[in-house]
Amino acid sequence: MNRQKHSCDVLVIGGGPAGLAAASCAAQSGARVSIVDDNPHLGGQIWRGEHQNASNQEAALWLRRVQEANVNFIAGARVFEQPEKGLLLAETFDSVLELRYQKLILALGARERFLPFPGWTVPNVMGAGGLQALVKSGLPIQGKKVVVAGTGPLLLAVAAYLHKHSAKVLLIAEQAKQAQLLAFGFSLWRTPGKIGQALQLKRELLGIPHRMGCWPIAASGSEKLECVTLRQGAKTWDVACDYLACGFHLVPNLELAAMLGCALHKGVVRVNETQETSIADVYCAGEATGIGGLELSLVEGQIAGFAASGQSASARALLSERKKQQRFADALNRAFALRDELKDLPTADTIICRCEDVSFARVQTQSSWRAGKLQTRCGMGPCQGRICGAAVEFFLGWQPESVRPPVFPVKVGSLIQSAETAE
- Which residues are near ligand FAD by CB under 6 A? 13-19, 36-39, 44-46, 78-79, 107-112, 129, 132, 154, 157, 250, 253, 256, 286-287, 293-294, 297
Q: Which residues pair with 250 in a beta bridge?
A: 112
CA 45-60-291 angle, to 5 degrees, is: 35
Query: Using an 8 Å Cβ cutoff, are 141 and 162 in contact?
Result: yes
Give whichever of 23 and 358 is closer to ligand FAD, judged by the CB atom.
23
DSSP E strand boundaries for 14-131: 33-36, 72-74, 78-84, 87-91, 95-100, 103-106, 110-112, 125-126
Give whichever of 218 and 331 is closer to ligand FAD, judged by the CB atom.
331
Give whichever of 150 and 286 is closer to ligand FAD, judged by the CB atom.
286
What is the closest distance, in whole angstroms, from the C-beta atom of residue 270 to ligand FAD in the complex? 16
Give whichever of 34 and 132 is closer to ligand FAD, judged by the CB atom.
132
Give whichever of 132 and 376 is closer to ligand FAD, judged by the CB atom.
132
Give whichever of 90 and 170 is closer to ligand FAD, judged by the CB atom.
90
Separation of alpha carbons 256 and 106, rounded Å: 9
Give whichever of 214 and 294 is closer to ligand FAD, judged by the CB atom.
294
Q: Is 142 helix (H, G, I), strand (E, B) or coil?
A: coil
Give whichever of 97 and 363 is closer to ligand FAD, judged by the CB atom.
97
What is the closest distance, in whole angstroms, from the C-beta atom of residue 268 to ligand FAD in the complex? 12
What is the closest distance, in whole angstroms, from the C-beta atom of residue 278 to ligand FAD in the complex? 19
Q: Is 281 exposed, middle or buried (0-12, 13-18, 19+ CB in 10 A)?
A: middle
Q: What share of the chain is helix, strand, coil (3-state, %, to 5)?
A: 35, 25, 40
What is the closest distance, in whole angstroms, from the C-beta atom of residue 336 to ligand FAD in the complex? 13
Q: Is 5 helix (H, G, I), strand (E, B) or coil?
A: strand
What is the closest distance, in whole angstroms, from the C-beta atom of residue 195 to ligand FAD in the complex? 15
What is the closest distance, in whole angstroms, from the C-beta atom of residue 14 to ligand FAD in the complex? 3
What is the closest distance, in whole angstroms, from the C-beta atom of residue 368 to ligand FAD in the complex? 26
What is the closest distance, in whole angstroms, from the C-beta atom of residue 226 to ligand FAD in the complex? 25
Mention every residue, 6+ apart, whose C-beta is less than 8 A from residue 393.
399, 400
Distance of CA 141 to the CA centre of its chain: 23
Separation of alpha carbons 225 and 367, rounded Å: 34
Q: Is 366 helix (H, G, I), strand (E, B) or coil?
A: coil
Mention every residue, 6+ apart, whose C-beta is less than 8 A from residue 53.
none
